[in-house]
Structure 1
Amino acid sequence: METMESAPKPRAQGQSPVWLAQRLIRFDTVNPPGDEAECVQWIRGVLDGAGIETRIVAADPRRPNLVARYPGRGLEPPLLLHAHVDVVPVEGQTWTRPPFAGEVVDGELWGRGAVDMKGQLAMMLSALLRMRARGDVPAGDIILAVVPDEETGSDVGSRFLVERHPELFAGVRYAIGEDGGAELGLGRHARLHPIVVAEKRTCWVRLTVRGPGGHASRVAPDTGTVNRLRRVLESISGGGLGIERTPVVDRMLEELAGALPGGVGARIEAFRRNPADPGVLDGLDGTTVRYLRSLVQHTVSATVLHGGTGTNVHPTEIVLELDGRVLPGGFTTEEFLTLLRRQVGADLDLELFVEGEISPPPRLDAFYDRLAAVLRSRDPEGIPLPVVTTASTDARLFSSRLGIQCFGWMPLRHGPDVVYRDRLHCPDERIGVEALEFGAECFHALLSGGP
């Protein structure tokens, strides 16, 4: 039975992650165009009202960045929390409930941004507000960066911050942001808590195919653009550019195999040892298999096609856009393009039009252990796991430009049938009320010096 509920009121309402997430969702910050100013100014009012220092810096006044600082005792370097308030569009999607109403129904908060990533921002805000109300003083300063524009490139958000205001992050060694949808979808086998330690890097390429034109009433020549395009698409139909084993993915797979029971763990271990075997992951769901296979190779996907002038004319030029993702570990753009040319044909024109930043190698050091310890203390049956995500987030900018070690950490506890990854950017995006409360508790424990 469906029930409408008001947000619960643990502690004070203003500290409740559910209440905070509701308010954030009710700001329409769809990007494009963004227009995040009203939402950011509301957050500033909440923090100012609690006596937490804030600063606004902006390349575009309609799309400001907020940087808040909660002073610590100076015993540790400052810790950065970063979160974006822009969300992806809802047009063309069929929603069961209004996407910007922030309704709580049957124990779940509905709305665009509930998972990506206003719900997580609410966890961070709740933890800071609770600390302030209790008079907690952390070991080091806590910096919260609330940014626009993550969904379309970060130019007026994190990129503007790291390029124009790096002084705001002086001394920061570690940062926590979103997990980029890194959930593995294996909840039926074990309750896993992903901690993102590395991301794949974006390399978007325009591939141009050329050939003779002519009247389309005649059979196209083998050298025609459509036939050449067909061969290109066939060459990349597997999705990858050859197996590449990396230390960070190897550790992830080793720990994942050990965390999963019986035959499932054995499949993951067999995949770790021989990722080229096409049948080694048989029995796992297709989404999980595709994700795991994306972690052992640079991937390339055909996404956009331009070409043709008329139905009765053989095109002389077709442009294909490819979404390339490069594994972490120092692989260069030139290496990626060389592999791509080898696969699609050396005589084709390739133009790199988006190039992601190369981040420093991940370090699974004492701070990673601290994140894992907080999760174990709040969920003894859960299993923290280092994870590589195939997507990229604002972490790439803080790590590549400022040398900050970034982690994607969205602590959630939910039932085995809930896969939050499948709600990202989708209609009926929603998050459990208990999951929000769990995440806020984990953030509070971390920032207070826990577990």
Structure 2
Amino acid sequence: MKRKFIGTALLTLSLLTSLTPLSSAAADSIVQSETVSSETAKLLQELLRFDSTNPGGQTLALAEFLKSKFDQLGVETEVIKTPSGQAHFIARLKGNGSKKPVLLAAHSDVVPVERKNWTVDPFGGVIKDGYVMGRGAMDFKGGLSVFAQAVMMVKENNVPLNRDVIFLAEDDEEAGEYGTDWLAKNHWEKINAEFALNEGGWIFQDADGKTTQVNITTRDKIYVSFKLTAYGKPTHSSRPMPDSAIKSLSLALAKITNWDTDPTLNDQTREYFLALSRTAKEPLASHLKNLAESKDPAKAREAGKKVVELGSYPLLWHALMRNTVAPTIVQAGVKENVIPGSAEAIVNVRLVPGSTPFEVMEQLQRVIADPGVKVSLASEMTEEEARKYYEQRTAALASSTDTALYKALEESSKSVWPEAEVVPALFEAGTDGAAWRDRGVPVYGIYPYPLDNDTLERMHGNDERISVKSLEEGTKMIYNTLIKVAGSD
């Protein structure tokens, strides 16, 4: 039910936004696109011009385009069509088989856009002020371009390989039934590997543009959605009732949005904030250390507030230190002159591993403090099935940092950004890496380009972008990683 409910809302939004004309500023910007020599930036421009909005976007056309690029180099390729008419793309560089393959996975689908709020065509592949702009520029067609370009460079340079290098452009990562779980169930032999690289960790820049930290994520937060349901007496809109379902739901949502969960750290996030404290300046460094080490909930809460107030990436750090709670969908009413008898909202939660959805559900019910508003899992699973599922998600271990891929990422990051600290991290959102993790394959995550907070906050928002310089640096880092992890000794 969760997937159908959210998918319907996204489809409606996609259809509406696709019909919205560009603003005059966006239309004018199409002819203002800058030219660059970066092959990765050029590839990203081409990929952005495929409107691969999920649902219903052009992932098949994008897959065929990628196939043409790799076919020109003589690489083994395949387009795998899904029952929905979309597609995954696979390219494989053959090694000598002495080691198991390494996989690089990047999703080709993107979230919808609100065109009227963009200053450029979101599907125009525009370069402006040194940034490639467009839906998916950062999440994750930029990463797809970096991974693809690095793999093609390995082929172009005829690098001898001990292991196959598999490049995968995935469909249905943002939503849908035919993502990597479907691919693994039906075509596992084509994506089986010793370890995998996916989206995830951030590469931080300071105010001067210096790269200070490289995060390699080894685990994702746990995804869960709740449904809030309020009931009231349906009647004519000319005679409002005091027990309105919309009123009850609105009051509940207001309480939730004005509430914040307490810091909930586990061993991984404690180590992460301690690592941040070693490169931060005072007084932020002390607050980060207090957040990581304090056993007093009140002191940890105060330290967390200061970290968010003073930090360079406030929303990211806020999310990493706690279970986040965000209302995302509201539905009520059938006609404008009818007061509805029920109203529903979806509240999306990202859990720090170690927490359970049932704990957060109880917290939500206490915060709402209205027995007339029911909180339940937005899922078709029974409570028993849900408990088992989330126990498995919580028990899953982070990917080991003692592998050839993690070490190659660490060494290559230091070679490109010598002053940066490389740390394993928790990803504050979710990826489709579970298809491999559930089968015992370590998965590491990275957005392979340095970025500032402004660029980070445009993710899934307006005027999404990534800098050309960052794309170039990221391509160099990923190429070096492939040489270290797959090249012949």
Please indicate, yes or no, whether the TM-score normalized by the shorter chain is above 0.5.
yes
Mean alpha-carbon deviation: is it higher for 363-372 or for 158-167? 363-372
**CA distance in 2 between partners of 1:47 and 1:128 (Å):** 9
Q: State the partner residue of 1:292.
A: 317
Once the two structures are aligned, what percentage of the paired residues are identical?
Answer: 26
Q: State the partner residue of 2:444.
A: 407
Instruction: Evaluate the alpha carbon distance shift between residue 204 and residue 280 of structure 1 in structure 2; reply closer, same or farther with a 3 A threshold.
Output: same
**CA distance in 1 between partners of 2:32 and 2:327 (Å):** 43
CA contact (8 A) 2:327 2:348 kept: yes
**CA distance in 2 between partners of 1:95 and 1:310 (Å):** 32
Q: State the partner residue of 2:469.
A: 434
Out of 348, 352, 362, which is 1:327 matched to?
A: 352
**Larger relative helix fraction:** 2
Out of 273, 278, 288, which is 1:268 matched to?
A: 288
Q: Deviation at 1:91?
A: 3.6
Structure-to-structure mapping, 1:71-90, within 5 angstroms = 71-90=94-113
**CA distance in 1 between partners of 2:235 and 2:93 (Å):** 68
Mean alpha-carbon deviation: is it higher for 424-433 or for 342-351? 342-351
CA contact (8 A) 1:34 1:149 kept: no
**CA distance in 2 between partners of 1:108 and 1:194 (Å):** 22
- Find out whether 1:7 has 2:32 as its counterpart: no
Q: Deviation at 1:203?
A: 1.0
**CA distance in 2 between partners of 1:161 and 1:72 (Å):** 23
State the AA in 1 paired with 2:353: P
3-state SS of paired residue (2:399): coil
Q: Deviation at 1:264?
A: 1.9
- Find out whether 1:388 has 2:426 as its counterpart: yes
Q: Deviation at 1:424?
A: 1.6
Out of 420, 435, 438, which is 2:455 matched to?
A: 420
Instruction: Evaluate the alpha carbon distance shift between residue 310 and residue 363 of structure 1 in structure 2; reply closer, same or farther with a 3 A threshold.
Output: closer
Structure-to-structure mapping, 1:162-177, within 5 angstroms = 162-170=184-192, 172-177=193-198
Q: Deviation at 1:126?
A: 1.4
- Find out whether 1:445 has 2:480 as its counterpart: yes
State the AA in 1 paired with 2:480: A
3-state SS of paired residue (2:200): coil
Out of 229, 245, 253, which is 2:273 matched to?
A: 253
CA contact (8 A) 2:331 2:343 kept: yes
Instruction: Evaluate the alpha carbon distance shift between residue 6 and residue 228 of structure 1 in structure 2; reply closer, same or farther with a 3 A threshold.
Output: closer
Identify unmatched segments of 5+ residues in structure 1.
10-15
**CA distance in 1 between partners of 2:333 and 2:91 (Å):** 52
CA contact (8 A) 2:217 2:426 kept: yes
**CA distance in 1 between partners of 2:435 and 2:398 (Å):** 14
Identify unmatched segments of 5+ residues in structure 2.
1-30, 380-385
1:356-394 CA-partner distances (Å, limit 9, x unpaired): 972722134223333122111111122223332322122
Q: State the partner residue of 2:159.
A: 136
3-state SS of paired residue (2:96): coil
Q: State the partner residue of 2:5.
A: none
Q: Deviation at 1:279?
A: 4.1
State the AA in 2 paired with 1:174: F
Q: Deviation at 1:158?
A: 1.5
Aligned length, in residue pairs: 435
Instruction: Evaluate the alpha carbon distance shift between residue 88 and residue 283 of structure 1 in structure 2; reply closer, same or farther with a 3 A threshold.
Output: closer
Q: Deviation at 1:293?
A: 3.0
CA contact (8 A) 2:399 2:443 kept: no
TM-score normalised by length of structure 2: 0.78
Structure-to-structure mapping, 1:35-434, within 5 angstroms = 35-60=58-83, 62-153=85-176, 155-170=177-192, 172-179=193-200, 182=202, 187=207, 191-211=212-232, 221=242, 225=245, 228-229=248-249, 232-233=252-253, 235-272=255-292, 273=294, 274-277=299-302, 279-281=305-307, 283-284=309-310, 288-308=313-333, 315-329=340-354, 331-344=355-368, 347=371, 348-354=373-379, 358=393, 360-367=396-403, 368-400=406-438, 402-413=439-450, 419-434=454-469
Instruction: Evaluate the alpha carbon distance shift between residue 214 and residue 52 of structure 1 in structure 2; reply closer, same or farther with a 3 A threshold.
Output: closer
Instruction: Evaluate the alpha carbon distance shift between residue 162 and residue 339 of structure 1 in structure 2; reply closer, same or farther with a 3 A threshold.
Output: farther
* C-alpha RMSD over aligned residues: 3.2
State the AA in 1 paired with 2:102: L
CA contact (8 A) 2:320 2:426 kept: yes
3-state SS of paired residue (2:276): helix
3-state SS of paired residue (1:303): strand
Q: Deviation at 1:29?
A: 1.6
3-state SS of paired residue (1:384): strand
3-state SS of paired residue (1:276): helix
CA contact (8 A) 2:219 2:399 kept: no
1:8-47 CA-partner distances (Å, limit 9, x unpaired): 16xxxxxx21222222122222223113111101111111
State the AA in 1 paired with 2:342: E
Q: Deviation at 1:334?
A: 4.1
CA contact (8 A) 2:100 2:163 kept: yes
**CA distance in 1 between partners of 2:100 and 2:195 (Å):** 8
**CA distance in 2 between partners of 1:59 and 1:419 (Å):** 36
Instruction: Evaluate the alpha carbon distance shift between residue 302 and residue 28 of structure 1 in structure 2; reply closer, same or farther with a 3 A threshold.
Output: closer
Q: Deviation at 1:446?
A: 0.5
CA contact (8 A) 1:76 1:139 kept: yes
1:391-412 CA-partner distances (Å, limit 9, x unpaired): 2122233323x23222211232
Q: Deviation at 1:441?
A: 0.7
Q: Deviation at 1:308?
A: 4.6
Instruction: Evaluate the alpha carbon distance shift between residue 173 and residue 250 of structure 1 in structure 2; reply closer, same or farther with a 3 A threshold.
Output: farther
TM-score normalised by length of structure 1: 0.84
CA contact (8 A) 2:142 2:466 kept: yes
**CA distance in 2 between partners of 1:373 and 1:175 (Å):** 17
**CA distance in 1 between partners of 2:437 and 2:305 (Å):** 36
**CA distance in 2 between partners of 1:435 and 1:184 (Å):** 11
CA contact (8 A) 2:133 2:463 kept: yes
State the AA in 2 paired with 1:163: K
State the AA in 2 paired with 1:145: L
